[in-house]
Structure 1
Amino acid sequence: MTTGTTAIWGRAEQQDFRSRVRGCLLGGAIGDALGAGIEFDSLAAIREQHGSAGVTDYVPAYGRRGAVTDDTQMTLFTVDGLIRAHVRRDTGAWHPPTDVHAAYRRWAATQRDWGPDERKKDDGWLAREEWLYAQRAPGNACLSGLADDRMGTVDAPKNPQSKGCGTVMRSAPFGLLVGWEPQLVFQLAVECAAQTHGHPTGYLAAGATAAIVHALARGESLDHAVQRALAQLATRPGHEETTDALKRALGAVRQGLPGPERVESLGEGWVAEEALAMAVYCALVAEDVRHGLLLAVNHGGDSDSTGAVCGNLLGALHGETALPPAWVAELEGRATILELADDFAMEMTQGPALHSPGASSPAWLARYPRA
């Protein structure tokens, strides 16, 4: 796999890119946290407990306000795997799905280990973040797909009947590879989704998610980004469910004022194509980030996943400064998310200054070992 054209980065372009990376990762985590406390509630139960408008702020989940779930955990390990792939390329090895799979296996260890004390040096810094060692309702397909060291592929996927939203909720970082050609971004997301979810809809929805984020991170409009994703989907066998879901999301925009009932007309979000369609719809009709995220979580379905994907989209579209400051301030893991976002942006824009086959920053290799 090659990366296609390489971007030329001026200072303004680097700053814009970093803002979009931060926005995408923080926005996804905020949407995740907004939905975490109501993930398994019906719309009627949400309104009964929180009022006719539903939740309008963080509500307690997992013992605190602003807590994130497995959606954010896995997204962070996607980023870690992508950085590691670029660093390891110095050795002559270049197969990003393998590096992302290794990162997902490090995430899986956080779901069974007590803490980071036993982690090896080669696991890097993210795997030693103690706050990540918490079970936040991880999906069964994600856990079972990563239970052994065999890597699922499109030809031989793990969980071939599964199309749960565990693919789309972790796939936005692939879209942040803005120096890559769009079809390669799509393909990488597909290959990494098949490591846990083998149904074509599961992995093609992940590819579409990455394709949309990729266009947004390059400065395109959301509507144009969705059209690009639809064009890529059309070339793939088994695309019909994902294509139909995205087209229904586009159609819903023209059907009147947005509200929870309109969101629920697109599904519940437990499966990949529904979660993507609901998130896309909410991002398309959003008056601002706050409005879009609250719309994305106030429904009787997988609120944290639809909120997370919507946050990824709006953050990549508008950048970090568009995010509500109070939500950023109270977000669990904010420091880690920002640190990882900045590392990713630095690797993508200034990687050759950090490492090469001949000379590398020891501090960088300690954070992202080549092993």
Structure 2
Amino acid sequence: MVEFARPWAADGEAVFRSRVRGCLLGGALGDALGYPVEFHGLARLRAVHGPGGVAGPVLANGGQSALISDDTQMTLFTAEGLIRAHARFVDHGADDTVDLVRNAHLRWLDTQTHERPPAVEGDPVRTGWLRHQRFLYALRAPGNACLTGLRSGVDPGTATPPGEKGPVNPDSKGCGGVMRSAPFGLVHTPERAFELAARSTLSTHGHPTGSLASGAFAAIVAHLVAGESLLGSVLQALELLRAHPSHEETGRALRGAIDLAAEGRPSAERVEGLGGGWVAEEALAIAVYCALAEPDDVARALSLAVTHGGDSDSTGAICGNLLGARHGDAALPADWLAVLEGRGTITALADDLAVQYSPRHPRTRYWRDRYPAS
């Protein structure tokens, strides 16, 4: 029998909900911190923000909002897909998780190709409340592999588009898979989270490293939600990773992050020594390094994670996912949360995810309309 969801958290529903909130909100904070400074070199970052780098959100909309990017957009749709997958499992006993998460990512694709929710009469795939959140229709530099992969008609079970041989985007190991995979770890065991995240990533990124980095990230999150230490979570994910062919790139990157965090005072130069974060294993390694280097100070860790000349929104988002899952939402900077774009939607979705995977399984008519099992 498939082990569909994680055992209920031993430390209770409130802690679990806090960690789910922390993971999604923390990831959004890191994303929002890094998005305005993506592509800025380290010298420019220091000239504008001071020697310590980015110390707080750069506000848009007349100083009102810290904007999220496609990283958070896709993560939210991953979470929505998981809710609908579990609802389908409860109602019908069917484990269609990878398919339903891809359907959710198709709803994200709609937000990137339409100005408003398109008409979807007769198409249950493109339904649900999340697609009506207008802030998600903003174009925030969506990744090319994510766009082309989702448009390809790929079968997420085989990662092969109809009429073609081999996986979609076979050479792509960009960070667009790993940056959206945290929700798998929130609601599944480490082994199952690894499997689902890795398979889901193949719908857009066909290179083994892109897939395996996503699996390792989801497994780390799963260990953190269970209350384990950050270092212990990374080490256990490495053990899972070693069982898979082509694991070497991701394994080297993670071991490099662990070793670097043990060497002394963190710095932007050390971050850049791990790469730019444009590819999956580098983005994960940078986030893990920053979280290990500043494990008890979310603001300092996120600042470190975005103060470099690479893919700062993705590295910030992944770091925020990790520390939010470890500490819960109470550890997140309240003044940053106050200006976070879409905070109410993110919080509501996090709470719904926690409730759906609790023993309560709410399937009222309201819930079925909110999360159709398709």
Query: Taking structure 2 as the reference length, what is the TM-score of the superposition?
Result: 0.93
Letter in 2 for 1:368: Y
Note closer, same or farther for the CA distance 1:61–1:260 as it changes in structure 2 (3 Å cut).
farther
Does 2:141 match 1:137? Answer: yes
Distance 2:8 2:48 in 1: 51
Instruction: Please say if residues 33 and 68 of structure 1, whose CA atoms lie closer than 8 Å, have aligned partners that are also in contact.
Output: yes
Check 1:164–1:61 CA distance in 2 against 1; reply closer, same or farther (3 A cut): farther
The secondary structure found in structure 1 opposite 2:195 is helix
Q: Aligned pair 1:296/2:335, yes or no?
A: no
Paired residue for 1:164, among 168, 171, 174? 174
Mapped to 2, the partners of 1:214 and 1:339 lie a distance apart of 21
Between the aligned partners of 1:8 and 1:190, the Cα distance in structure 2 is 23
Q: Which amino acid aligns with 2:79?
A: V
Aligned to 1:69: 69
- Measured after TM superposition, the shift of residue 211 of structure 1 is 0.4
C-alpha distance after superposition, 1:1-52 (max 9, x if no partner): 8226762467x61000000000000000000000011011110111122222
Per-residue CA deviations over 1:42-89 (Å, capped at 9, x if unaligned) read 101111222222221111458764100000000000000000001112
Which of 274, 281, 291 matches 1:273?
Answer: 281
Amino acid at match of 2:109: A
Q: Relative to 1, partners in 2 of residues 1:228 and 1:342: Cα closer, same or farther, differing over 3 Å?
A: same
Whole-angstrom CA distance in 1 between matches of 2:39 and 2:70? 15
- Give the Cα separation in 2 of the matches to 1:278 and 1:62: 30
Asked if 1:125 corresponds to 2:120, the answer is: no
Give 2:316's aligned residue: 307
Q: 1:118 offset after TM fit, Å?
A: 2.5
Q: How does 1:50-199 map to 2 (within 5 A)?
A: 50-60=49-59, 65-89=65-89, 90-116=91-117, 118-120=119-121, 122=124, 123-153=127-157, 156=160, 157-177=167-187, 180-199=188-207
**Distance change >3 Å, CA 62–CA 42, structure 1 → 2:** farther
Distance 2:158 2:289 in 1: 28
Distance in 2, Cα, partners of 1:69 & 1:133: 11
Task: Provide the rounded CA distance (Å) in 2 between the counterparts of 1:9 and 1:167.
Answer: 27
Which amino acid in the other structure matches residue 31 of structure 2?
Answer: D
Q: Unmatched 5+ residue regions in structure 2?
A: 161-166
For residue 52 of structure 1, give the secondary structure of its aligned residue in structure 2: coil
Return the letter of the residue paired with 2:139: Q
Contact 1:289/1:324 (8 A) holds in 2: yes
Report if the CA contact (8 A) 2:176-2:280 is conserved. yes
CA deviations on 1:307-359 (whole Å, 9 max, x unpaired) are: 0000000000000000000011100000000000000000011343x13xxxx
Separation in 1 of the partners of 2:62 and 2:212?
35
Rounded to whole Å, the distance in 1 between the matches of 2:279 and 2:118 is 35
Could you tell me how far 1:254 is from its partner in structure 2? 2.0
Q: 2:194 corresponds to which letter in structure 1?
A: F
What is the letter of the counterpart of residue 186 of structure 2?
L
| Residue pair 1:154, 1:198 contacting (<8 A) in 2 also | no
Instruction: Name the stretch that deviates more: 94-103 or 51-60.
Output: 51-60
Residue of structure 2 equivalent to 1:358: none
Instruction: Name segments (4+ residues, structure 1) moved above 4 Å.
Output: 61-64
In the alignment, which residue of structure 1 is the partner of 2:260? 252
1:45 counterpart = 2:44: yes
TM-score normalised per structure 1? 0.94
Counterpart contact for 1:101–1:151, Cα < 8 Å: no
Distance 1:139 1:131 in 2: 18
Q: Which of 362, 368, 372 matches 1:369?
A: 372
Does 2:348 match 1:339?
yes
* CA drift at 1:181: 3.4
Preserved contact between residue 36 and residue 61 of structure 1 (Cα < 8 Å): no
Distance in structure 2 (CA, Å) of the matches to 1:22 and 1:6: 17
Distance in 2, matches of 1:40 and 1:118, equals 36
Partner residue in 2 for 1:235: 243
Q: Which SS does the other structure have where 1:73 is aligned?
A: helix
Cα distance in structure 2, aligned partners of 1:44 and 1:36: 17
Q: Distance in 2 between matches of 1:176 and 1:14?
A: 13
Once the two structures are TM-superposed, the CA of residue 224 in structure 1 deviates from its matched residue by: 0.5
1:104 partner amino acid: H
**Letter aligned with residue 356 of structure 2:** E
Q: How many residues align?
A: 362
Matches within 5 A, 1:207-246: 207-246=215-254
1:262 and 1:232, CA in 2 relative to 1: closer, same or farther beyond 3 A?
same
d(CA) in 1 for partners of 2:201 and 2:159? Answer: 12
Structure 2 letter corresponding to 1:259: S
Query: How far apart are residue 93 of structure 1 and its match?
Result: 2.7
Q: 1:250 to 1:190 in 2, by over 3 A?
A: same
Percent identity (aligned): 54
Letter in structure 1 aligned against 2:100: D
